[in-house]
Amino acid sequence: MSATVLATSLSPTSSSAVAAAPLSLHRNLPSSHATDLLKQCKTIRHLLELHAAILRTGVPLHRAPAINFRLQRSYSTLGLLDKSLALFHYTPTHLRSVVFWTSIIQSHANHGHQHTALLLFSDMLSSGVDPNGFTLSTVLKTCDVAQGRIVHCQCVKLKLDFDTYVGTTIVDMYARGGEVENARKMFERMPERNLVSLTVIITCYAKAGDLATARKLFDEVEGKDVVCWNTMIDGYTQHGQPNVALALFRMMLKDQIRPNDVTVLSLLSSCAQNGALELGKWVHSYIGSCGIKINTQVATALIDMYCKCGSLEDACLVFEKMPNKDVVIWNAMIMGYSMHGRSSEALNSFTQMRAENIRPTNITFIAVLTACSHAGLVSEGRKFFQAMEIEYKITPKIEHYGCMIDLLGRSGLVEEAHILAQTMPIEPDLVIWTTLLGSCKLHNKVELGKRIFKHLFDAGVANSGTYVLLSNLHAATGDWEETGRVRFMMRRSGKRKEPGCTSIEIDNKVHEFIAGDLRHDKSSEIYAMLGELSGLLKAHGYVSQTDVVLHDMEEEEEEKERALGVHSEKLAIAFGLISTPPGTVIRIVKNLRVCVDCHSVTKLISKITGRKIVVRDRNRFHHFVGGSCSCGDFW
């Protein structure tokens, strides 16, 4: 590059911000002038031009350590680690101070090159340069537990382990590795603790699922910042306590702490778990009012929340407004269509995504195969499954095999599904065998169901769900003796059926019900509505499907009807009917698969009341309108 070109690009008349001050190309180049220009560098081109200009002054970089150091930092900042490292190696060994070493280590750590960062740290120690607290903290962030223990020893040797900053990163290192006890011991030995170290140990307990200890520490912290609040809210969200997470968020607002995008992501996840649509909409509006940017992560979380809360329309609006959609957003929308039984829209979205030259991922194919499974699209599912490896070079994972086995089993091809489970290159897990057992129940494949259960029982992995499925299989075929035997085995093994629980959001508050629930403040009104509905249902020809009730043979039919009549989803629907104006959509969330009787009843209630009822169960969404369901009775 000529001096004329350099002078032009760096002159005051250049449009570049870097050229705001001219650079004289002579041997007496002031270091402060050069370093100031380097600090202003925003593009690789101008950095290279500045480097060339510095070299043309003839001053060796090892005689200008400030310029050398700033050049290395600038190359690292712009992602040119190879040039930064080359400059570092060019610097004479005796001039490589702890600041130089720390800078090059940090540059590689920040860009995800942990292995290189650790090698450089090892070279630093070999060269006789002692690390400082900042060096050790940087290295500890790149370590797994085994490596971290070695660095911890180095901290002890240099008597820096009780430095607040270093000690905090040691606690974090053990916490990331799941060594809660070592993290606790280190934390308790720290002579000084600040908000950062307290947040780290709270995160440690929260991630480990010890929410009680995490909350105790959290409540004792004074002057909590948004990071500390986010840690506790996310802990509850990740461990299936969305109600507590939402309650904590309200406390956060009362404490006048301004939420950020991390808060929003946790909140949207909590709303999605709970089916809390109104609160989710409030969070969405809050995002707009407080200036949080709707980036890919936030948009994906919004789409996921709206889909899981039963409002596919709102999810579509978020999706359509996003420019430059990436595969993550497409995956969220395709999965949303799939879980709502809108299989044709899901497959059309896949086609549109490919038309925009966006390459699908393994997640995309889980969404597409799920769509095929919910609609019984066997031939389409087979084509997509084959295309994964042949066309897109994606090796199917256990989730993809699970989708195919579910698709085949639901469609009546239970033997083929069984063969696939036996021949797949991955060892089938409990989910796949349970899926097969469910297909056996659906299509009355008693002998195959018994063989699958025996396999699970012998392997010692049979859980309450498998016992219930086998019991239901025998009950559906009228074999009450075998039904009783399976139930006895279940009791003897100590396995308990997971209780059904249904939630509904009314006026931004989530109400939960279990079967026969009497705890609600409006129980008398709820049961009065159930009584009224019972009469209307019978007038429309409804007959209880008591064969789904797992009671002993000698129990009266009337008792079985009573048990069916107080299932948790019926209580939630009744509460929705008495708590909302006519015409309002009722949305409920069930933690288990909705039973056949409740499905039939909900169809009739939607017809009798003229209400749309949206039910999210463990498998999918059901949209009940005018006496029919979006699933077409295929679930």
CA distance linking residue 523 with residue 442, whole number of Å: 35
What is the separation, in whole angstroms, between the first and last Cα of the chain?
Answer: 69
Look at residue 23 in the predicted model and tell me its pLDDT.
42
CA distance linking residue 570 with residue 613, whole number of Å: 11
Strands 586-590 and 628-629, bridge-based pairing: unpaired
Look at residue 21 in the predicted model and tell me its pLDDT.
38
Domain chopping of the chain, boundaries:
519-629
Look at residue 547 in the predicted model and tell me its pLDDT.
57
Range list of β-strands (E), 15-131: none
Q: What is the pLDDT of residues 402-445, one digit of tens each?
A: 999 999 999 999 999 999 999 999 999 999 999 999 999 889 89
Look at residue 553 in the predicted model and tell me its pLDDT.
38
Look at residue 59 in the predicted model and tell me its pLDDT.
62
Look at residue 289 in the predicted model and tell me its pLDDT.
84
Q: What is the pLDDT of residues 510-560, one digit of tens each?
A: 899 999 999 999 999 999 999 999 999 999 888 876 655 554 434 455 555
Output the six-digit token pair for 319: 């999706």
Look at residue 213 in the predicted model and tell me its pLDDT.
95
Output the six-digit token pair for 150: 């070695």
Are residues 259 and 226 in contact, defined by beta-carbon separation less than 8 angstroms?
A: yes
Closest listed residue to residue 498, CA positions, set 520, 475, 515, 522: 515
Look at residue 19 in the predicted model and tell me its pLDDT.
37
Are residues 301 and 268 in contact, defined by beta-carbon separation less than 8 angstroms?
A: yes
Output the six-digit token pair for 529: 């509505």
Look at residue 198 in the predicted model and tell me its pLDDT.
94
**Residue 362, C-beta contacts closer than 8 angstroms, at least 6 positions apart:** 388, 394, 396, 397, 399, 400
Look at residue 209 in the predicted model and tell me its pLDDT.
92
Look at residue 296 in the predicted model and tell me its pLDDT.
92
| Low-confidence residues of the chain: pLDDT under 70 | 1-34, 58-64, 545-563
